[in-house]
Amino acid sequence: MNINKANRNGMTNATAVIGIFAAVFVGVLAAFGAVQLSDPAPDDGLQERAGEDKGSGTAETVDSFPVSIRKPIGPPRVLTGIVDAEGNAVTASCSSCHTTRPAIVATKVSAELDEFHSGMPFSHGSISCLACHNQDDYDALRLADGTRLEFSDVMTLCAQCHGPQMTDYEHGAHGGMTGFWDKSRGPQEKLNCIDCHLPHTPQFPKMQPTFKPKDRFLSPEGGDH
Amino acid sequence: MNAESPRPDQDASERHQLPILNQPSSRRTALKAAGFALGLAAFGKALSPMMVIPENVSAEEFLQQHYKELTEEDKKRIFARLEKEAKEEYGADVTISDPPPIPGVRFGYAINLSKCNGNGKCMEACNKENNHHRGTDQSYIRVLEMSKGSLDMEHGTTTYDHTVPQDDKFYMPVQCQQCDNPPCVSACPIEATWQEDDGIVVVDYNWCIGCRYCEAACPYHARRFNWEQPEIPADEVNGNQGYLSNRIRPQGTMEKCHFCLHRTREGRAPACLEACPTGARVFGDLNDPDSDINYVLKHKRVFVLKEELGTRPNFFYFFDS
């Protein structure tokens, strides 16, 4: 009988142990299942994602946003070295001086000048000052055919000689941009020629790199990566 | 039960008991006991990963499903958790989104090697936009200084520190080429990386196990491994975060350039393009015949890196003339 009693207790213990494990097992199953079973309809997500695009990027609305080109400010003004009563520098327009003296068409480099602009760096082919500046109105520019052109429209002037660059520019392959690549979703802003190329020394300036990732591929020791 | 050795003092009901404890030893009970022990051991082993979840990983995160299995509800919950974690760990307010590919759009990117001067602003913009680790100034882009006359990127150097451009050099930024036949995707043993419909190859940072096979497989050295948990000052964390792109990645996972999909799928330009002071970068929709990128492909001398490998990149290089 003692043996049987022990047997009974043993059986109870075993049942309890197994029961606990079963409970844990079911619990864990439920935990895993909760993540998987909470997906009522797998296609819902896809439909939701596709649905989000309604009303944008359709063929009818293409190019509804403008491409704006930053316009240069109007005619440049020259510092006179004088400060007014409020402390602001007094500037003069080009025509202030240039209406008082005759234009010299032959001048090609600033070194030929002895009074003004003589130290101005110039490296833009062998063109005359008056190829671009307007001898009849120094507050404006001049196209090759003699047409007067505002300073703010300088890109038309540049494009006379730099046609391929202008074509690339118009197709987004020259000069940077910011904003939206997709003009149906937002505007795009672009710089103009003289934002990057100084008119008198148009070559893009040299730069000093300032940012270097320090990953193993880049380490000077080289070696494996 | 115990049919082999029924004891005379046991009645029938007592004989039908569980076979393991306090049973007279026999070959059968021994085998049953061994079987039960084995089963228990296997169960314990199956549960053992639960015991080694790293301290910084919640059980929910540990049990998270693959990105493609997630429902919108799951995503909402996960994004909320990630936003909360960013607030707790980085002190930054972030919004996590998951913009889908734009139907019908296939992205292409091109770099004008006649224009690029190696100044590296793209790398810096990438670092800031994509919440890279500041300790290593990580970036998805490497700008290689190359000797004129060779296009072999393996001979490019990245450690130059002088004014650029040098007359006898040209500069070639290399980042993920978003291949149509991506070796990294084939190499991944768990499908944690794949190519989306717009051509962008993405990584599920939570599914990735960090084996780095993809890093070894990429012929462009474009993949990066998070050796450390990224350190980013709170005021520098970019709060506009995509789940598959620039959200702050966990330590021990792979990552790569994703064409700034949190921007480009909203129609905006990639950060590296906007940052380029030389205008060398052209981005757009390859499926749109009038796009900037297609103008480049039609009118310029274009090549792709390591074409002979058959990776079919959606990333191009060109010269003006």
pLDDT, tens digit, for every residue of B57-110? 777 787 888 999 999 999 999 999 999 999 999 999 999 999 999 999 999 999
**Residues 6 or more apart whose Cβ sits within 8 Å of residue B22:** A6, A7, A10, A11
The share of chain B scoring above pLDDT 70, in percent, equals: 92
The residue extents of the domains of chain B are 107-319
Confidence bin at B19 (pLDDT 50/70/90): low
Contact B120 A211 (CB under 8 A): yes
- Higher-confidence residue of A32 and A199: namely A199
- In this prediction the pTM is 0.77
In 3D, which of B282, B279, B278 has the Cα closest to residue B269?
Answer: B282
- Higher-confidence residue of A52 and B68: namely B68
- Residues B121-133 have a mean pLDDT of 96
Q: How confident is the model at residue A33, as a pLDDT?
A: 42
Contact A13 B21 (CB under 8 A): yes
A71: tokens are 């316009």
CB pairs under 8 A, 24+ apart, for B297-303? B297/B108, B297/B110, B299/A171, B299/A173, B300/A173, B300/B110, B300/B112, B302/B110, B303/B151
Closest CA–CA distance from residue A66 to any residue of chain B (Å): 14
- Residues B185-212 have a mean pLDDT of 96
Query: Which residues on chain A are in Cβ contact (under 8 Å) with B285?
Result: 181-182
Q: Average pLDDT, whole number, for chain A?
A: 76
Confidence bin at A216 (pLDDT 50/70/90): low
Domain B107-319 has CATH 3.40.640.10: no
Q: Is A27 part of the contact surface with chain B (CB cutoff 8 Å)?
A: no
How large is the angle between the packed helices A2-37 and B27-51, nearest 10 degrees? 40
- Residues B254-279 have a mean pLDDT of 97
Q: How confident is the model at residue B4, as a pLDDT?
A: 53
ipTM score over 0.95, yes or no? no
Query: Which residues on chain B are in Cβ contact (under 8 Å) with A211?
Result: 120-121, 123-124, 127, 137, 139
- The residue in chain A having the minimum alpha-carbon distance to the alpha carbon of residue B105 is A57
Q: How confident is the model at residue B1, as a pLDDT?
A: 47
Query: Which residues on chain B are in Cβ contact (under 8 Å) with A25?
Result: 43
Q: Is B73 part of the contact surface with chain A (CB cutoff 8 Å)?
A: yes
Q: Is A20 part of the contact surface with chain B (CB cutoff 8 Å)?
A: no
Closest CA–CA distance from residue A79 to any residue of chain B (Å): 29
Least confident interval from A12-21, A86-95, B188-197, B206-215: A12-21
pLDDT digits (tens, 9 = 90+) for B26-60: 888 888 889 999 999 999 888 887 777 777 777 77
pLDDT digits (tens, 9 = 90+) for B301-313: 999 999 999 999 9
